Structure 1
Amino acid sequence: MAEKKFRHELKHYINMSDYMAIKNRLTQIMRLDKNANQNNEYKIRSLYFDNLNDKALMEKINGINRREKFRIRFYNDDYSFIKLEKKSKINGLCGKDSAKITKEQCEKIIEGDIEFLKHSNTPLFVELYAKMKGDLLKTKTIVDYTREAYIYPTGNVRITFDKDIRTGIHSKSIFDANVPTISSIDNTFVVLEVKYDEFLPEIIQHIIQTNDRRATAISKYAASRIYG
Structure 2
Amino acid sequence: MKDLKFRNEIKHYINISDYFSIRSRLMQIMRIDKNSNADREYRIRSLYFDNIRDKVLMEKINGINKREKFRIRFYNDDHSFIRLEKKSKINGLCNKISESISKNECKRILNRDIDFLKVSNKGLFVELYSKMKWDLLRPKTIVDYTREAYVYPVGNVRITFDKNIRTGIHSKNLFDKDLPTINSVDNRYIVLEVKYDEFLPAIIQDIIQTNDRPAQSISKYAAARIYG
Q: Which TM-score band (shorter chain)?
A: over 0.9
1:18-167 alignment, distance < 5 Å: 18-167=18-167
Gap runs ≥5 in structure 1:
none
Map Cα deviations across residues 159-186 of structure 1 (whole Å, 9 max, x no partner): 0000000000010001000011000000
Shift of 1:28: 0.3
Structure 1 match to 2:181: 181
Segments ≥4 residues shifted beyond 3 Å:
none
Looking at structure 2, the residues matched to 8 and 159 of structure 1 have their Cα atoms a distance apart, in angstroms, of: 12
Looking at structure 2, the residues matched to 115 and 79 of structure 1 have their Cα atoms a distance apart, in angstroms, of: 22
Identical counterparts, % of pairs:
73
Looking at structure 1, the residues matched to 183 and 12 of structure 2 have their Cα atoms a distance apart, in angstroms, of: 18
Q: TM-score, normalised by structure 1?
A: 1.00
Looking at structure 2, the residues matched to 156 and 83 of structure 1 have their Cα atoms a distance apart, in angstroms, of: 22
Map Cα deviations across residues 51-100 of structure 1 (whole Å, 9 max, x no partner): 00000000000000000000000000000000000000001000011000
Letter in 1 for 2:217: A
Looking at structure 1, the residues matched to 159 and 92 of structure 2 have their Cα atoms a distance apart, in angstroms, of: 18
Letter in 1 for 2:51: N
Map Cα deviations across residues 189-220 of structure 1 (whole Å, 9 max, x no partner): 00000000000000000100011111000000
Looking at structure 2, the residues matched to 140 and 210 of structure 1 have their Cα atoms a distance apart, in angstroms, of: 33
Letter in 1 for 2:5: K
2:53 is paired with a residue whose SS is coil
Shift of 1:2: 1.5
1:46 is paired with a residue whose SS is strand
Looking at structure 1, the residues matched to 15 and 201 of structure 2 have their Cα atoms a distance apart, in angstroms, of: 24
CA RMSD in angstroms comes to 0.4
Q: TM-score, normalised by structure 2?
A: 1.00
Structure 1 match to 2:11: 11
Letter in 1 for 2:23: K
Structure 2 match to 1:197: 197
1:147 is paired with a residue whose SS is strand
Looking at structure 2, the residues matched to 81 and 118 of structure 1 have their Cα atoms a distance apart, in angstroms, of: 22
Residue-pair matches, total: 228
Gap runs ≥5 in structure 2:
none
Map Cα deviations across residues 99-142 of structure 1 (whole Å, 9 max, x no partner): 00000000000110000001100000000000000100000000
